[in-house]
Amino acid sequence: MFGWLIGRRGRHGFDLTDWMAFGFLGLGVFLMLGPVLWLVLSSFKTEAALQEYPPKFLPLAPIERMVEGFDQPLQMFTVTAGEHAGRELAQVRRIGLNAQMVDPANPSERLNVAISDREPLREFGIATENYTDVFSRFNFMLYFWNSTFITVVATILTVLFNSMAAFALAKYKFTGRNAVFVLIIATLMIPPTITLVPLFLVISEMGMVNSHWGVIWPAIATPTGVFLLRQYMLTIPDDLLDAARMDNASEWKVYWKIVLPLSAPALAVLVIFSVMWRWNEFLWPLIVLNRSEVFTLQLALNSFQGELQTSWSNLLAMTVLTLLPITIVFAFLQKYITQGIAQSGVK
């Protein structure tokens, strides 16, 4: 009954179990990518097209035209049946099941058309202004810069500090080594969500409320990073380090010129994790950063979606711009990311 789950291809040709497997995967692809695709498609629609119900799949905007004697642009329809069939008319207003319409060529004459007898006229229109607005009216670059600053600085410091600690724990014998290691690993048990209140005290005592450093510093000493790098550095042979020491290399040189380059694969995994963590982080910045000029992208998105005045068209464009960097990174480093996660078991 469940055998199809572990069937193997090539033995019986393309059989029923393969159909079921591909059916499941097809559904999975639809569910996983469909929503993202829908977001991207929607982000290119004009506000008028977004308000339309039921929504159209492609960014086909209803055509609107200025008609003499009216202040607002009127929506254009083609009449499909009835007395005026075949004409293209502009709608003035709806009255119950009828629409009062007007021919743009002859604006003085009002025509009555049943609403079931007309179809909106559409044109393929990509609303790039959704995106340009995000830059001109919503200060997107500021939030993008804030997020980038936090991500880059925190990642550099994370990799530096964690690798130094990992080096000490992996390559030196000293009293208290095991105690320190256990202490660091023990903090894995204390997720940051538990110490929100006291951490806020520490940050505010240091004057880092509404400062990016208030987000960066608490994030740097990741136990995961220390553990990951230590395990990797254990595999580097000690002879290599001793040979360098024979040549009078300082401990710093041993670390920087030998151990770090050799740990590159593990460092890359940590860099990817750190970028992901910091770029996507939400709860802690939400607590520390309260003024809009220091908001990260995630905070800005969250606050815009809470405001009633914000139009979906700009919000959708901003959402797409926020997921773009991570998507590009994933497209290029997909293999390394999935391998790194499968091997280390952290996220």
Partner 1 sequence: MLKTAAVQAYEGAFNLLERPMLALQKLFGQSRVAWVFLLPNLVIFGLFTFLPIILNFVFATTGGDRIILADRPFVGTEHFASLLDCESYFDPNSCHRDLFWRAVGNTGWFVLMQVGFMILFSLITALILNRDIVLRGFFRAVFFYPVLLSPVVVALIWKWILQRNGVLNAGLEGAGFGTINWLLEADWAFFWVVFVSIWCNMGFYVLILLAGLQSIPSDVYEAAEMDGTPRWRQLWRITLPLLMPTMLVVMVLSVIRAVQAFDEIYVLTGGGPGSATTLLIQYIYDVGFSTRPRLYGLAAAASLLMAGVLFVLTIIQLAATRKQSGDN
- Kindly state the smallest distance separating residue 270's Cβ from partner 1, in Å: 13
> Of 293-312, which residues contact partner 1 (CB under 8 A)?
298, 301-302, 305, 312
> Shortest distance, CB of residue 250 to partner 1, whole angstroms?
5
Query: What is the distance between the alpha carbons of residues 50 and 278, in angstroms, rounded to a whole number?
Result: 32
Name the helix (H) or strand (E) containing 102: strand 98-103
Q: Select from 243, 253, 292, 332 the one that contacts partner 1 (CB under 8 A).
A: 253
What sign does the CA torsion over 83, 84, 86, 92 have?
A: negative
| 258 touches partner 1 (CB under 8 A) | no
Of 108, 252, 291, 308, the one binding partner 1 by CB under 8 A: 252
How far apart (Å, rounded) are the C-alpha atoms in residues 300 and 139? 10
When asked if residue 292 is in the footprint of partner 1 (CB under 8 A), the reply is no
Cα 160 from Cα 163, distance rounded (Å): 5
Residues 43-82, one symbol each (x = binds partner 1 by CB under 8 A, - = not), give --------x-xxx---------------------------
**Window 176 to 215, contacts with partner 1 (CB under 8 A):** 177, 180, 183-184, 187-191, 193-202, 204-205
Nearest approach, Cβ of residue 315 and partner 1 (Å): 7
| Structure tokens given for 311 | 């139009």
How many residues sit close enough to partner 1 to count as binding (CB under 8 A)?
100
Candidate ranges 68-76, 77-85, 101-109, 220-228; the one touching partner 1 (CB under 8 A): 220-228
What is the distance in angstroms between the CA of the first residue and the CA of the last residue of the chain? 34
250 binds partner 1 (CB under 8 A): yes
Closest CA to 296 of 127, 157, 154, 133: 154
- State the helix-helix crossing angle for 213-220 and 196-205, rounded to 10 degrees: 120
Residue 298: name the closest of 284, 308, 309 by CA.
284
Q: List the one residue from 15, 16, 19, 32 that touches partner 1 (CB under 8 A).
A: 32
Interface with partner 1 includes 249 (CB under 8 A)?
no
